[in-house]
Amino acid sequence: MNAPSRSDQVSDMKILVADEISKSGIEMLGTEGYDVDVKTGLKEKELSSVIGGYDVLIVRSATKATRKVIENSKLKVIGRAGIGVDNIDVEAATERGILVMNAPSGNVVSTAELTIGLVFALARRIAEADASMKKGEWKRKELKGAQVSGKTIGIVGLGRVGAEVSKRATALGTTVIAYDPLVSPEVGVKLHVRLVSLDRLLLESDFVSIHTPLTPQTKDLIGKTELAKMKKSAVLINCARGGVVNEEALFDALSQKTIAGAALDVYAKEPPKDSPLLTLSNIILTPHLGATTREAQEDVGAEIAEQIISYIKHNVIKNAINLPAKLDPEIVPYMPMAEKLGTLISQLGQCSAGKVEVSCRGELAQKDIRIISASVMTGMLKPISEEHNVNYINAIEMAKTRGIEVVSSTSDEAGQYKNLIRVLLNANGDAISVAGTLFSDKGPRIVEINGSTVDIEPEGNFLIIGHEDKPGMIGSVGTVLGDHDVNIASMEVARKKVRGPATMILHIDEELSPEALEEVRGIANLRSATYIRL
C-alpha cells in the first residue's frame, strides 16, 4: 500500500545488518545501490557507538535495538527479519518517528512445523528415548507414550503461526480449540477451530501451544494459577516468545508433576544459562529454532529486504508495527489530503492549538480513521516542529507532548460528497475549520474553509483574505500584488450573503514576501490576510 512521499527521502542510504540474514537479502539491498554493512554480535555499547552513521537497521532476535541505541541514531527504519519485535524498543522508535517493520510471513511454516514436531516428541517421549538409548538402555515399557489422534490441542493466539498450527493439528485428527480475544468467530469457523476462554482451554486441552507476542498484557500469561488448571496428563509447548510462560512456575509444575511435560524453544533470557529447567527430564528444550530452517532464513531475509527497498524507493509501507492503524488500501489515497488539511489549518490558525477535532464522514466512517488523524497532525506539526522528523508514526504522540488534544469522530452523513474529512481547530477561544475530499475526476480538493464553500487544489502558494464584501476589494488586493510582481493564477470568493463577511482565496505563482503581506493587511475593510504554502 502506498504512503505519501516524504521530503526527507534520500537515495544514498546506509544500511546496517546486525544479525545474520540470507545472502539473497543482502544482495537485493546491494543491487539497489545501498551501502550495506554486516556487523553481527554487537552489544548495546558497540551498536550505540556506530548506529549514528546508518539510516536503516536490520536485526533478527539477537541484537537489541534499545532506547539508548535508538536515541543515538538517525534511523528512518528498523527492520526485523522475523515476527517478534520484543528486542526493539518500539516506543522509543515511535517517539523519534522511526518506522518499525517486521517480516511475519517468512518463518510461519517453519515455526508451525517445529510446534507439531514437539507435539509428537512429547507424546511419544522421543527425547527421553534417544537419551536412554545412548546410555545403552532399552526402556521400551517405561517409555510408553500417547497417541496424538483423538486428543485436544489448545492454541493460545490464533495469528499467522497459530492458524498454521491449527491446520496441521486438524489434519492429525485432533480437536482444536483456541483462545484469542482479537479473533472473530468467523475466523474460527474458517479454520475449523472452536474459540473458548483461556480457562476453558487450559481445562480441556491435552496439548497447550502458545503463539502470542510478548507484550505487557501477555507477560507471564501462563503462570502458577494457569498451570494449575491444566490436566495432569497435559503438556505445554511454547515456540512463541520467552516471558509469556513464567519459567519459575513452569519448573514447579513439572518437578511436582502438576503437568506431564513441556517443550520450550524460547526463553525469558537467551540462552537460559543456569536455568533449573535444564535439570528436568520431562521437558524438551531447543535453542530458539522456530525460524531456523534454510527455507525460513531465505524467506525472512528476502522479505525484509523487499519491504525496505519498497519503502525507500516507492514509499510503500508493509507490515509496519508502529503505524497508528493498518494501511487500508481504500483509506491510503485520503492520507495526503488529510495532511494538507493539517498544514492549511496550522497556517490559518497561527496560534497555539488546544484541541483538534478530526471528523471523517461518508464511507470513511466505516474505516479505522486513526491514520487519518495521524496524517492531519503530521501536516499540522511539520511547519512548527523543531523536533525529530514528524510523520504518521509519531505525530499523535508529539501532539500530546505539546498539550494538544486530538479527538476523532465519524459520521455516515457527508452531504453532497462521497467522503469528507473535516478538521476543527480550537485555540484561544477561536474555532477554525477546513474540509476536503477526493474526487475521482479532479483528485484532492479543499471544499470548505470556515464554513464557506470553496474548490481549491491543495498545492502551491495561496493568499487567503477575510474581508467585507464591498466593491473595490479585489482591485485593491490585485494592485498590491502587482506592485510586488506577484502573479495571480486563479481566484475565488466565498461568501454567505451579499456585502457580508467574505473569504477571498488567491492562488499565486510566486512566494509572497513579508513586506507584500503587510501591505495587503493594510487595505481598508480587510479583516485578515494569511499566506499559505501547501
What number of H helices and E strands is found in the chain?
A: 17, 22
Which residues are the active-site residues?
241, 270, 288
Binning the chain into helix, strand and coil, the percentages to the nearest 5 are 35, 25, 40
At 413 the three-state DSSP class reads coil
What strands, in cross-sheet order, belong to the sheet with 56-59? 35-38, 14-17, 56-59, 77-80, 99-102
What are the φ/ψ torsions at residue 151 (nearest 5 degrees)? -90, 175
Residue whose C-alpha cell reads 536490520 in the numeric block: 58
Coil, helix or strand at residue 77: strand
Question: Which residue shows C-alpha cell 537489541?
Answer: 64
d(CA 84, CA 266): 11
> What is the C-alpha separation between 222 and 241, in angstroms, rounded?
12
Phi first, then psi: what are they for 298, rounded to 5°?
-65, -45
What is the rounded CA–CA span in Å between residue 301 and residue 27?
10
| Contact between residue 123 and residue 148 where contact means Cβ atoms under 8 Å apart | yes
Name the residue among 362, 361, 352, 375 with its Cα closest to residue 425. Answer: 352
In this structure, what C-alpha cell is assigned to residue 287? 535453542
Closest-CA residue to 463 (of 431, 396, 510): 510
- Written as nine digits, the cell of 505 is 482565496
CA nearest neighbour of 85 among 57, 53, 125, 45? 57
Short-list 412, 410, 408, CA closest to 395: 408
Give how far Cα 267 sits from Cα of 101, 165, 216, 288, Å.
Answer: 23, 20, 16, 8
**Which strand (E) or helix (H) includes residue 305?**
helix 294-314
Q: How far apart are the first and last CA of the chain?
A: 24
3-state secondary structure 140-176: CCCCCCCCCCCCEEEEECCCHHHHHHHHHHHHCCCEE
Of 424, 426, 334, nearest to 371 by C-alpha is 334
- Taking the C-alpha atoms of residue 403 and residue 356, their distance in angstroms, rounded to an integer, is 11
CA 18/CA 261 separation, integer angstroms:
36
Q: Report the C-alpha gap between 255 and 417 in whole angstroms.
A: 67
Which residue from 123, 175, 122 is spatially nearest to 152, judged by alpha carbons?
A: 175
3-class DSSP assignment, residue 348: helix
Gap between the Cα atoms of 21 and 234, Å rounded: 37
